Each structure stands twice: as C-alpha cells, then as structure tokens.
Amino acid sequence: MASSEQSQSQLPTSAIENQSTQKSDAWFEYIVRVHPHHTDYAGVVWHGTYISWMEEARIESLRSIGIEYAELVNLGCDLPVVELSVRYHKVVKLGMVVAVRTRMTNTEGVRLDWDYQIQSLDGKELYVTAKVTLVTVDREKGKIMRRLPPKVEAALTKLY
C-alpha cells in the first residue's frame, strides 16, 4: 500500500504524466502476479490486461479511503471512463510480479483524473504509464452529475 517511503522513491515522470497537474504525491500500490490468463500465446501480458489491473487498483484505492464501489452504485452514482491514454514501455511476462501504482491528480467539477505506473517491485523497471479520466454520472438519469455526493466528495479529499 502507499507509504511515505514508496512516495519518495518515485520514478521519473513520463510524457503522459506530464500532462496532469499532479497535486497529489501519494501513490496507492496494488500488487499483481501475472497468470496465464493475463497473457498471449508468447507469455507476454496482453495489452488490455493492464487496463483491468488499473481499474482494480483504482477500486482498491477508493476502498482504502472508505469508498466501496457498490456503495456508489447504491447512491445512484457511476464513474465511467471518458478518456484513456496508455504508454507501453516494456513487456511484462508470465510469472512476474508487478506493482500497479495509482493516484488521483485532479478533480475539476465532476472530472476525476488518475495517473498510473506499472513497474517492478523494486521500482527499477517501468513497464506502463497511463492517465484515465472519469466523470460522475447519475445512474438513473444517465446524465453527468453536477456535483459529487457529499460523502464521496469528503472521502476523495483524502486522496487529492
């Protein structure tokens, strides 16, 4: 999980990350072991798997501050991805263990911007960098919410 020691050992930022405001230096870490179903026939992680890992890390990061995704649904709120940018630096292979690091970098209105790094556990190898933008949507009306539910907004201040 995120700690001050891990925050201090950040890798140089990528071109993707340079596009964000990066107000938060606190990274949440989600550890993944590469299983056969994550890979193609060559034993290399399939590109779409990284996106699944990023979503899992984001959901766990929210859970770590008290926001359960099921609770958002019960509040009538959904967080669809509206923008995604991924840069693949090096391949990840079957059997490897990697750290998926995520942090929320910006909230403009109902936009939630997240940065990602997928790297080796020791932080020496950078495999993937990404940026994802989410918006809050009223599940019943199917329209963008003008404001986050107060409980969600208060919890997110712990990340941002």
Catalytic positions are 40
No. of helices (H) and no. of strands (E), the chain: 4, 8
Alpha helix stretches (DSSP H) within 20-113: 47-64, 69-74
User: How far apart are alpha carbons 35 and 14 in whole angstroms?
Assistant: 27
The β-bridge partners of 8 are none
SS3 content of the chain, % helix, strand, coil (to 5): 25, 35, 40
- The alpha carbon of 151 is separated from its chain's Cα centroid by a whole number of angstroms, namely 20
User: How far apart are alpha carbons 38 and 108 in whole angstroms?
Assistant: 34
